[in-house]
Structure 1
Amino acid sequence: MTKPPPPIAPMEARLVDALPRGPEWIYEPKWDGFRCIAYRDGDAVTLISKSGKPLGRYFPEMVAMLESLPERQFVLDGELTIATGDTLSFAALQARLHPAESRIRKLAAETPAQLILFDLLALGGRDLAELPFAERRERLAAFFQDVQPDRLLLSPITTDAAQADQWLDRAGTALDGVVAKRLDLPYQPGVRAMAKLKQHRTADCVVGGFRYGGNATTAVGSLLLGLFDDAGLLNHVGYTSSFDAAEKKRLLTQLEPLIGPPGFTGDAPGGPSRWSTDRSVEWQSLRHELVVEVRYDQVTGCRFRHGTTFLRWRPDKAPGQCGMDQLARELKPAELEELIGA
């Protein structure tokens, strides 16, 4: 077949404030895993990440599974996920990016990945990218029905906006939101041709410390956020730095009088790395007096994966009321099965 040379840039989605509505739109869950375009051309299987880097070395069980399929020429677009215990774990995906092949082989055997499919770009020698999405989806469903492999799942779709709203309301970090595609949409590599509405949640956090900005001590760089666990320990869960320059200077007058113990009594902010400067790893411990409400999108383990957005101070809330139970729970495999089955 005429295979696009790796790496092909995946088609992307622009962030919207509300899902588009109308008969020309179709919706599917936005999964929280590793975006992956999978190629097979005869005996050669290649997995490419969203950034264009090869993934096959880190997911040998997925390469072997795709090699076992009866169809020998295809290009699939999907999301790699891993179930650990009773949840889908982004941390388990990150653990695969390891330099030691023996470690990767061990993890592949213990926690094999699965690929959730949502597009078909080529099949049996024919490039399908110019076809409308509705037709590509029909061919993808037929392909999936024919092969029925282990660890290959078909992402659900719906034309019912109410169903899309229900997906959006589901708690869990493995379900990151909803993607909307036009039924007549051709595949456009690297173009934000789809629409996505992401899950954004809020949490009330204790300000357990702060970092100064850059190499200066005249402004705050970021607030370090903490939540209490069941043992009553304050664990570092992330940071917020969404203040303008004037506010970062003003914050010093509010924070510096609070410098001192107890800070983080459980997990503390990380130490130096090879990318850190002396100043960037320093942080000031604060007494547990300030509570902030922040908006976050995704959680890995018990931490915000990205920086959060400051919403407001919460003088009405006691620090001891800020617990880990606020964080969105991870999606359970049974719930994934329910979604896929739908």
Structure 2
Amino acid sequence: MELPVMPPVKPMLAKAVHAVPHDPGLSYEPKWDGFRCIVFRDGAEIELGSRNDRPLTRYFPELAELLLEALPQRCVVDGEIVIATEAGLDFEALQLRLHPAASRVNKLAEETPASFVAFDLLALGDRSLMDTPFVQRRRELEGVLDDSLARVHLTPVTSDPAVAEDWFTRFEGAGFDGVMAKPVDLPYQPDKRVMWKVKHERTADCVVAGFRWHKDKETIGSLLLGLYDDNGVLHHVGVATSFTAQRRRELVDELAPLRENALDGHPWRQWAEYKAEMRTPGAYSRWAVGKDLSWEPVRIEWVAEVRYEHLQGHRFRHGSRLVRFRPDRTPESCTYGQLDQVAPAELHKLFS
């Protein structure tokens, strides 16, 4: 493979803001909920690269074949791999594709084929477009991408912030993360936070059912959170993370009394005794190979108010942030019923 922009390339990133910016000269796009992917194609050779430099080609063979049809002979395209269903984007199904067995990958490729959404062009032919303004990169991408093929899409764009705000509210139920904004004259800057992202944020009161140690092995890295369903079953819904170093040390002492006899009657006791499926708190990460996600249980007594973005299935899509502990709440009161239920929206509306 010989291209003017060679792998690996770290994707351009975004800073989080709380509202859709209205600055002049901005272009807006939906924020897709999938795996960021930069595609490198040189003739019959194609490589799907992830944001952490792990190749994705072997996990999405159906996309590699499809993109050989949809892309020009020599190019580098930035985009997102998603799995679209009638109910919206399914990130959990996407995660299942990261499986070590080729037979399993091929089976899932037939049952839940992935789609590719293109939103930037980094190279075309012998030309690098990294220093070219985004508005021109977008124009060239529109001219070379064959999005008439099923499961290949060109992301919608608008220069109208009112349209972007409409996308932000109307399509959340389809699993979209929010809205992106970028200057039209922006060159492509790998690994730089030069765009803006607006994401949904809500709060929920959750049961603190355990924790994971920080990588230093001495302080608390994250809190494991749970919510009760209508049958009184406590489900693992995600983690609260992003503590300061001081707060991580404080949590060690604060949680210490809750560790005594923690497994007695603990609803997740079986998960503390063996490494189980991906959705259990004690699993290993399929994305960060070798990352230990083992956990320590605590007695079911504490409630934490956390800030989260949105629910994917029965779990928080991203890690949440601790707002405060709630001694005035009982664990039994922490149910799914408190969460906002966003009405589904059809994906095809974005492409009309």
Alpha-carbon distance change, 13 to 249 in structure 1, aligned in 2, over 3 angstroms: closer
The residue correspondences of 1:271-310 to structure 2 (distance < 5 A) are 271=282, 281-287=295-301, 290-297=302-309, 299-310=311-322
SS at match of 1:286: coil
Cα distance between partner residues in 1 of 2:281 and 2:57: 30
Mean Cα displacement is larger for which, 204-213 or 79-88?
Answer: 204-213
For residue 315 of structure 1, report the CA deviation from its aligned partner.
5.0
**Aligned sequence identity (%):** 45
AA aligned opposite 1:81? V
1:269-294 deviations in Å (ceiling 9; x for gaps): 634767659xx63312324xx43210
User: How far apart are 1:138 and its partner, in Å?
Assistant: 1.9
- Give the SS at the match of 2:351: helix
Give me the whole-angstrom Cα distance separating, in 2, the residues matched to 1:73 and 1:215: 47
Q: Distance in 2 between matches of 1:46 and 1:212?
A: 36
**1:212 and 1:49 mapped to 2: Cα distance?**
27
For each residue in 1:265-323, what CA deviation from the matched residue of structure 2 results, as whole angstroms up to 9, or x when unmatched?
7996634767659xx63312324xx4321012355542335442121344555544422
Would the alpha carbon gap of residues 33 and 266 (structure 1) be closer, same or farther in structure 2, given more than 3 Å must change? farther
1:89–1:143 Cα change, 3 Å: same
Counterpart check, 1:92 vs 2:93:
yes
The answer (yes or no) to whether the contact 1:259–1:284 under 8 Å persists in 2 is: yes
In structure 1, list runs of 5 or more residues that go unmatched.
Answer: none
Give the TM-score normalised by structure 2: 0.80
The one-letter amino acid paired with 2:196 is A
Whether contact under 8 Å (1:87, 1:331) holds in the other structure is no
Cross-structure match for 1:150: 150
Native 8 Å contact 2:236 2:281 kept in 1: no
Contact kept in structure 1, 2:119 and 2:138, CA below 8 Å: yes
C-alpha separation in 2, matches of 1:59 and 1:175: 21
Name the structure 2 match of 1:122. Answer: 123
Match for residue 251 of structure 2?
248
Q: CA separation of 1:74/1:87 partners in 2, compared to 1, >3 Å: closer, same or farther?
A: same
The residue number in structure 1 matching 2:163 is: 163
Counterpart-to-counterpart distance in 2, 1:223 and 1:275:
17
Gaps of at least 5 residues in structure 2 are 272-279, 285-289
**Distance change (3 Å), C-alpha of 1:189 and 1:260:** closer
Q: How does 1:62-211 map to 2 (within 5 A)?
A: 62-69=63-70, 71-84=72-85, 86-144=87-145, 146=146, 148-169=148-169, 170-172=171-173, 174-209=175-210
1:264 is the counterpart of 2:256: no
How far apart, in 2, do the equivalents of 1:330 and 1:114 lie? Answer: 23
2:337 paired with 1:338: no
How many angstroms apart in 1 are the aligned matches of 2:306 and 2:105?
A: 36
Compute the displacement of 1:196 (Å). 1.8
TM-score, normalising length: structure 1: 0.82
**Secondary structure at the residue paired with 1:63?**
helix
Aligned to 2:346, what secondary structure does the other structure show? helix
The change in CA–CA distance for 1:198 and 1:140 in structure 2 (over 3 A counts) is same
1:14-93 counterparts in 2 under 5 A? 14-69=15-70, 71-84=72-85, 86-93=87-94
Q: Offset at 1:112?
A: 0.7
Report the CA distance between 1:325 and its aligned residue: 4.4
Length, aligned pairs only: 333
SS where residue 285 of structure 1 aligns? coil
Cα distance in 2, alignment partners of residues 10 and 210 from structure 1: 32
Native 8 Å contact 2:87 2:174 kept in 1: no
